[in-house]
Structure 1
Amino acid sequence: MNALYRQDLRLFQNRFLPSVKLVRKVRVGSRIRRAYDRAQTPFERVQSCPEADPLKVAHLAALQAQLDPFALAEAIDQHLARLYALA
């Protein structure tokens, strides 16, 4: 299970699964109105961050170009199948 989290699942979630982030909360009367940023992957957030180190961003972009989301999903499914067999 640790290998799944350390390798394939981490790469898949950080590179290919977008998520929305809460930007602000504003109280309107008795309700709270929430505003969210557009859905982005964590990798896209690092790329758009002005404080990010350009060398590290370039290294991450090179790694991104090598990854195949379908191959990662298949590897994750294989890890999960082995875990389910143990249960």
Structure 2
Amino acid sequence: MGYSSDRLPRVGEIPDRPSMFIMGGFTGHGMPQVFLCARGMADVVLGNKEFNDAGIPRLFQESKERLSDSRNRILELYQEPLEDFQSKL
């Protein structure tokens, strides 16, 4: 399984890496999503469509902002409940 730091798939051309694409980080829920993303990405890679017209959710689009975000929401998800936990011993 592949996890992204913001818990969203990463799909599209990698910024500042011409002709390099990514489609991953579906966090174990890829089967229902990956086939439609793959169809859209095929159109993008072949130059038939722009990303925004390919039917891929915009939240999944790889961007410089997502790459430069230093937060790890996966770890935050597990640390927050532990911070609130009070031992009863």
TM-score (norm 1): 0.33
Q: Which of structures 1 and 2 has the bigger CA Rg?
A: 1
TM-score (norm 2): 0.33
Name the structure where strand makes up a greater proportion of residues. 1
